[in-house]
Structure 1
Amino acid sequence: MKNIDPKLYQHTPTVNVYDNRGLTIRNIDFHRDVAGGDTDTRITRHQYDTRGHLSQSIDPRLYDAKQTNNSTNPNFLWQYNLTGDTLRTESVDAGRTVALNDIEGRQVLIVTATGAIQTRQYEANTLPGRLLSVSEQAPGEQTPRVTEHFIWAGNTQAEKDHNLAGQYVRHYDTAGVTQLESLSLTENILSQSRQLLADGQEADWTGNDETLWQTKLNSETYTTQSTFDATGALLTQTDAKGNMQRLAYNVAGQLQGSWLTLKNQSEQVIVKSLTYSAAGQKLREEHGNGVITEYSYEPETLRLIGTTTRRQSDSKVLQDLRYEHDPVGNIISVRNDAEATRFWRNQKIVPENTYTYDSLYQLISATGREMANIGQQSNQLPSPIIPLPTDENSYTNYTRSYNYDRGGNLVQIRHSSPAAQNNYTTDITVSNRSNRAVLSSLTSDPTQVEALFDAGGHQTKLLPGQELSWNTRGELKQVTPVSRESASDREWYRYGNDGMRRLKVSEQQTGNSTQQQRVTYLPDLELRTTQNGTTTSEDLHAITVGAAGHAQVRVLHWETTPPAGINNNQLRYSYDNLIGSSQLELDNAGQIISQEEYYPFGGTALWAARNQIEASYKILRYSGKERDATGLYYYGYRYYQPWVGRWLSADPAGTIDGLNLYRMVRNNPSTLVDISGLAPTKYNIPGFDFDVEIDEQKRSKLKPTLIRIKDEFLHYGPVDKLLEEKKPGLNVPEELFDRGPSENGVSTLTFKKDLPISCISNTEYTLDILYNKHETKPFPYENEATVGADLGVIMSVEFGNKSIGNASDEDLKEEHLPLGKSTMDKTDLPDLKQGLMIAEKIKSGKGAYPFHFGAAIAVVYGEDKKVAASILTDLSEPKRDEGEYLQSTRKVSAMFITNVNEFRGHDYPKSKYSIGLVTAEKRQPVISKKRANPEEAPSSSRNKKLHVH
């Protein structure tokens, strides 16, 4: 196996240290980047308040700095209210944020680090309590502006006819207004329209006069219409310009084919056929351009090890990627066997990339090939090789090495290409007070870095002379690449209420006029126009096919005359690599349009195309993202600087990816991918070719539970229907999650129930919700012993050859210990309406029995209808006084597992703990009165003594 020396990883475990409450107070990592070399012990320290809430965390770098400078702050400080909601968050990267909730737990006030104030207004308590409006006041503004306003449907017959009763029908937001026109019975959106704010207008929906609000909007309305089958699967979608996509599925609910009908034209096939293995693994797909892609997998791990793309007409192999993984799944080499080995200046140039990691799995060295005349990487794209190269002197080898500090900041990139004399070093200056950092060309003094960021951690200068400005929500508002006393060149943006970009406008001054390029982002459609003064020189519709199999497919349709050298309605099939980067573009006949390869952390290393015009219309590049004229990649929630290997702003999801809020994909860009700019968590599910992104947190750091997944792999509906059909893909019960509108073919699901912050109580409560549907009342904030009797389920646990009934806190006392060495860990992955329990095999001392519970809140089924992966609740009860009420939360930390032992984490080793499958049955109705304290629990409560049989 290449690039792996076992000595590098010897004696480098991850160690967690716990206090007597079971809370993690130290995370210890051992860093080594040279086999056999010394290790650097890196300790991350945590502190908790008296109630067990995490109050501060500090990484090894800032801890060392604090020893010599006591003014150095921890990475994070938190304060909480009496119900456990976070009141104040103070981050050295993202600044200080204050948030207040009302008595119902709804957010009513946010004060951001930049001083912006956001308030939320709700219906009166006599009504359902729905959100009515959001107001914002920027620093320096005298009065707040209403930036969001909801108009809710009534109960008229017309509204009922479109299933709109009780739904919002118009949502005025920061980009304009969205109108909901029709819903299906399964609450899928059948028709929805969007109007954008007029240029020069700001979102301000104060008052109730909609006719006044309409004057702020552009007159054009963009409507998207969809149809669904009875299971909620998308059948057709017609975009705002009348182009229709059609999808078909096999009996297992997997994509079988897709078609596109451009407005006023005939239908054309996009995906002709797909073949899956018995386990649901994609084996072969044939596209409408006559190109076939075949997949191969490692038998032991089911990791993808090969992707071959060939033209059917002449069997020409166009791309043949071979992946090699290390034992933990890091990519150590990628070879394209469709490309020839070349020779130039006494070097052998193999079409292969190799990667080497340190003991923390950070990339420290990479090799590959680049264009011989490429020069130093910057924010500018290199010129492509035109036409596609056939000679030997186009490419050369390169080697890159990466250095990081003890806080995980990339501080140096060394590039070496001796044959082309392309050798350079990129230095990055990190603040001495935070993880904020910039290129050394902006400053080489760590004490001056903070001046290049605002209080919220947003970078204010991209390159020397290039200013950045941000809105009150921490979204990039404008980039000024060229500043002039008169009119400057600029690129500015608008975003919707969900933080996704809805408009991009680039303006350049040309003599006495202004050239403007405008992109309007709509579902599966981008409207791209170019104006010179008042004259429209280009009107382009870029249509994205949402279900295109392995490829990303776009159609370029010009309303104006297309440029010379490119056909109107050009189909562009983009074939990517394992992290989603577009490497090969083919036309509708399977002929090569362009080829591109990338450096680790992004940036183009090799780019060739058959002509310059076609090359200039490539939209998606590194990681499948759009590259703006600024050189920044737009990921959704953030912008990325590939020439620095860092995000432009702090992570809005907080500590979801650790204490460093600027680090890109844990410094492992060859293996991990970030879907939306929030987290690099990528779950390649065995037997499937899709990914699930989860805001996954440790038990001590509760954050909102969000799941993101492509629509074609999502099944959302009533839990009993999901259990009956067991369709391949991710199955999410509507009893637990709300599904937001689809964006670019990706759905976001948000947990919608209050759960008690207790491992066993949240498991009981979750199972009760799933068994009894929407009948479960909101969590009553009672003390734990009084909760179970009012729930409608009784839990049992199967530990291999032993069964425990009526499992509860009181059941797990020492008289029932130990489970014994004979207990077997032969536990299946939990299905919906099930969970897992971990319990100590042999008692280690007096007192309570150490255990942990989790309930399945979503599952992945294979084609065999068996569970291939589970998402479980992962909540632990904080320390509290006897009889003190339990707290509740919707910020449910989640754990994604593909085998039951992954539920152990670092806390429950197999040598000491058994895993059992939690099942439940409905409790028979009993008449009971509310108890004042746990000692009065009746015999029918969940505190009935456990029995083992």
Structure 2
Amino acid sequence: GEAGCRVQYPEPRLYQYSGSTRPQDAYNSAVNQWRPKLNACLPPWQSQANGWNSYRAQHAAWATQQQQYQTALADYNQRLAQYNTAQATYNQQLAQYHTALAAYNQAVAASQPVLDSVWTYDGSGNVLSITDGIDASYNRSFGYDGLDRLTVATAPAGNGWGNGTLHYDGNGNLTRQAFGNWSIDYGYDTTQQLKTVSGGRNYQLSYDSSGNVTSRGDGLLYQYDAAGNLRWANKGVSSQIEYRYDSAGTRVLSQGNGINRLEFTGADGLLYQEINLTTGAVKDFIYHGRTKLADIEGATTTWYHSDPLGSPLAATDQNGLLLWHTPYHPYGAGIVAATDKNTQWFTGKPYENKVGLYYYGARWYDPVLGRFMAMDPVDWKASNPIHSFGRYTYANNNPLRYVDPDG
């Protein structure tokens, strides 16, 4: 892999809980959260004096230090029940039969709600409906087959897609998606590789010997390194984008076709900082758990308001004004084009707009097709025997219930 560096974290320590020993970070994770130290990774001209920033729960200085503090409440078994930021209050309530979010409400200054959504689940944890308390055009309902694969997705026209159906073959491959007047059909060869897509997209797919998609017949070409990382995507020399990775296979640099971006990703797979090497602009990302809470670029802070999957549905500025609001198709394709500098969208993953793919870590993902661009590096699993046959499948064909953390 390419030479690079990783961000630094405090060393974990052990603590006692209910008679058993469990690891704990070198801070009290119920009280403090830390942004990882980046100084060791930055060149001398880009290093910053304050590599560490703390976010302390229940801090009296909240009103005057809105970018540095947040408060949080946990329920009796330490699951997050509510947390507050400078721009929002997040409430999470557990479903009766499943440890998933049954209610997910977010508001800016309470009297000016940005999001107000209620998610309902069946006994297996599948999402049955999303009800929007502000705008009914964002309501959704869903249905599943006996293997818990998403087969029905209904939403109003406009901010939705109308009546939607999804179909699969016996190996878990998508064979058809139909949403309102838009549909695509999939064609596979005898080795179960996707070869053709017709309808709303028209593709002729080609692969290398490792099963990585090298072209889709739309002019874009993809080249991979020996480890299976996407190294180049291009429509000719002038539009070529090159990606470089560190020794652990994590992307650290993107260059070409107007992109010149250095990235610092933590061992947890979260992107903590981007540096525009052309302008010198530095953007830091702040998280609560694995969900992006805000980004800070210079004197500008943008707050993100996400769904239970980690997909940002809205953003507000530091004054609480709504910047954009966007929904998603079930497999992650955007419906409303948000004219914003945000680069992390479906499930909070980085989206490369010029190639139309999400970077999930080990693999890249096509949200229109609902498939990865490469085979799963993990072979058939006894713990997941039914869904392991689809080597390009995303999230067991249940994108509202599961999130792939690393590709």
TM-score, normalization: structure 1? Answer: 0.37
Question: Residue 930 of structure 1 corresponds to which residue in structure 2?
Answer: none
Question: Residue 601 of structure 1 corresponds to which residue in structure 2?
Answer: 331
Q: Does 1:320 align with 2:68?
A: no
Cα distance, 1:356–1:592 mapped onto 2, change above 3 Å:
same
Shift of 1:277: 2.0
Unmatched runs of 5 consecutive residues or more in structure 1: 1-173, 188-226, 250-254, 261-265, 342-349, 372-394, 417-422, 444-448, 508-515, 531-537, 558-568, 609-614, 678-949
Shift of 1:634: 0.6
**CA distance in structure 2 between the aligned counterparts of 1:258 and 1:581, rounded to whole angstroms:** 31
Return the letter of the residue paired with 1:335: T
For residue 171 of structure 2, the aligned residue among 358, 383, 407 is: 407
Q: Does 1:239 align with 2:46?
A: no
Partners of 2:127 and 2:401 within 8 A in 1 = yes
**CA distance in structure 2 between the aligned counterparts of 1:625 and 1:542, rounded to whole angstroms:** 16
Shift of 1:607: 4.5
**CA distance in structure 2 between the aligned counterparts of 1:576 and 1:426, rounded to whole angstroms:** 28
**CA distance in structure 1 between the aligned counterparts of 2:226 and 2:172, rounded to whole angstroms:** 29
Shift of 1:370: 5.3
Question: Residue 228 of structure 2 corresponds to which residue in structure 1?
Answer: 474
Secondary structure at the counterpart of residue 488 of structure 1: helix
Shift of 1:456: 0.6
Q: 1:259-280 CA distances to partner (integer Å, 9 max, x unpaired)?
A: 99xxxxx964344311122222
Matches within 5 A, 1:710-859: none
Partners of 2:120 and 2:129 within 8 A in 1 = yes
Secondary structure at the counterpart of residue 347 of structure 2: helix
Q: Does 1:517 align with 2:247?
A: no
Q: 1:465-496 CA distances to partner (integer Å, 9 max, x unpaired)?
A: 2111111111111011x22xxx4311110111
Question: Residue 84 of structure 2 corresponds to which residue in structure 1?
Answer: 286
Cα distance, 1:438–1:302 mapped onto 2, change above 3 Å:
same
Secondary structure at the counterpart of residue 623 of structure 1: helix
For residue 238 of structure 2, the aligned residue among 454, 478, 488 is: 488
Question: Residue 306 of structure 1 corresponds to which residue in structure 2?
Answer: 103
Partners of 2:7 and 2:264 within 8 A in 1 = no
Q: 1:104-157 CA distances to partner (integer Å, 9 max, x unpaired)?
A: xxxxxxxxxxxxxxxxxxxxxxxxxxxxxxxxxxxxxxxxxxxxxxxxxxxxxx
Question: Residue 148 of structure 2 corresponds to which residue in structure 1?
Answer: 361
**CA distance in structure 2 between the aligned counterparts of 1:654 and 1:338, rounded to whole angstroms:** 44
Return the letter of the residue paired with 2:355: T
**CA distance in structure 2 between the aligned counterparts of 1:303 and 1:180, rounded to whole angstroms:** 31
**CA distance in structure 2 between the aligned counterparts of 1:278 and 1:651, rounded to whole angstroms:** 38
Secondary structure at the counterpart of residue 317 of structure 1: strand
Matches within 5 A, 1:71-90: none
Partners of 1:646 and 1:663 within 8 A in 2 = yes
For residue 442 of structure 1, the aligned residue among 187, 203, 206 is: 203
For residue 294 of structure 2, the aligned residue among 540, 544, 553 is: 553
Return the letter of the residue paired with 1:521: E
Partners of 1:326 and 1:332 within 8 A in 2 = yes
Return the letter of the residue paired with 1:358: D
Q: 1:823-842 CA distances to partner (integer Å, 9 max, x unpaired)?
A: xxxxxxxxxxxxxxxxxxxx
Matches within 5 A, 1:246-285: 246-247=53-54, 268-285=66-83
Shift of 1:425: 2.2
**CA distance in structure 2 between the aligned counterparts of 1:229 and 1:311, rounded to whole angstroms:** 30
Partners of 1:491 and 1:505 within 8 A in 2 = yes
Shift of 1:650: 0.5
Secondary structure at the counterpart of residue 666 of structure 1: helix
* Greater Cα radius of gyration, structure 1 or 2: 1
Question: Residue 874 of structure 1 corresponds to which residue in structure 2?
Answer: none
Cα distance, 1:544–1:663 mapped onto 2, change above 3 Å:
same
Secondary structure at the counterpart of residue 190 of structure 2: coil
Shift of 1:601: 0.9
Return the letter of the residue paired with 1:353: R
Q: Does 1:651 align with 2:376?
A: yes
Matches within 5 A, 1:861-900: none
Secondary structure at the counterpart of residue 293 of structure 1: strand
Question: Residue 499 of structure 1 corresponds to which residue in structure 2?
Answer: 249
**CA distance in structure 2 between the aligned counterparts of 1:493 and 1:635, rounded to whole angstroms:** 14
Secondary structure at the counterpart of residue 176 of structure 1: coil
Shift of 1:457: 0.5
Q: 1:440-478 CA distances to partner (integer Å, 9 max, x unpaired)?
A: 4334xxxxx6xx111110111034221111111111110
For residue 342 of structure 2, the aligned residue among 594, 603, 618 is: 618
Shift of 1:626: 1.2
Cα distance, 1:478–1:623 mapped onto 2, change above 3 Å:
same
Which structure ranks higher in relative contact order (CA pairs < 8 Å, sequence separation ≥ 6)? 2
Q: Does 1:426 align with 2:184?
A: yes
Aligned residue-pair number: 372
Secondary structure at the counterpart of residue 67 of structure 2: strand
**CA distance in structure 2 between the aligned counterparts of 1:428 and 1:257, rounded to whole angstroms:** 54
Q: RMSD of the TM alignment (CA)? A: 3.2
Question: Residue 11 of structure 1 corresponds to which residue in structure 2?
Answer: none
Matches within 5 A, 1:324-339: 324-339=120-135
Secondary structure at the counterpart of residue 338 of structure 1: coil
Question: Residue 543 of structure 1 corresponds to which residue in structure 2?
Answer: 284
Percentage of identical aligned residues: 19
**CA distance in structure 2 between the aligned counterparts of 1:504 and 1:257, rounded to whole angstroms:** 39
Cα distance, 1:661–1:257 mapped onto 2, change above 3 Å:
farther
Shift of 1:302: 4.6
Matches within 5 A, 1:82-101: none
Question: Residue 384 of structure 2 corresponds to which residue in structure 1?
Answer: none
Question: Residue 668 of structure 1 corresponds to which residue in structure 2?
Answer: 398
**CA distance in structure 2 between the aligned counterparts of 1:272 and 1:626, rounded to whole angstroms:** 25
Partners of 2:4 and 2:245 within 8 A in 1 = no
**CA distance in structure 2 between the aligned counterparts of 1:638 and 1:259, rounded to whole angstroms:** 42
Shift of 1:638: 0.5
Secondary structure at the counterpart of residue 219 of structure 2: coil
Matches within 5 A, 1:6-155: none
TM-score, normalization: structure 2? Answer: 0.81
**CA distance in structure 2 between the aligned counterparts of 1:281 and 1:667, rounded to whole angstroms:** 27
Question: Residue 295 of structure 1 corresponds to which residue in structure 2?
Answer: 92
Return the letter of the residue paired with 1:636: G
Q: Does 1:635 align with 2:383?
A: no
Q: Does 1:527 align with 2:275?
A: yes
Partners of 1:369 and 1:606 within 8 A in 2 = no
Q: 1:553-603 CA distances to partner (integer Å, 9 max, x unpaired)?
A: 11123xxxxxxxxxxx22111111122211011122222111110001111
Return the letter of the residue paired with 1:522: F
Secondary structure at the counterpart of residue 616 of structure 1: coil
**CA distance in structure 2 between the aligned counterparts of 1:360 and 1:396, rounded to whole angstroms:** 25
Unmatched runs of 5 consecutive residues or more in structure 2: 15-24, 40-46, 266-271, 382-386
**CA distance in structure 2 between the aligned counterparts of 1:361 and 1:492, rounded to whole angstroms:** 38
**CA distance in structure 1 between the aligned counterparts of 2:380 and 2:218, rounded to whole angstroms:** 30
Shift of 1:668: 0.9
Cα distance, 1:328–1:258 mapped onto 2, change above 3 Å:
farther
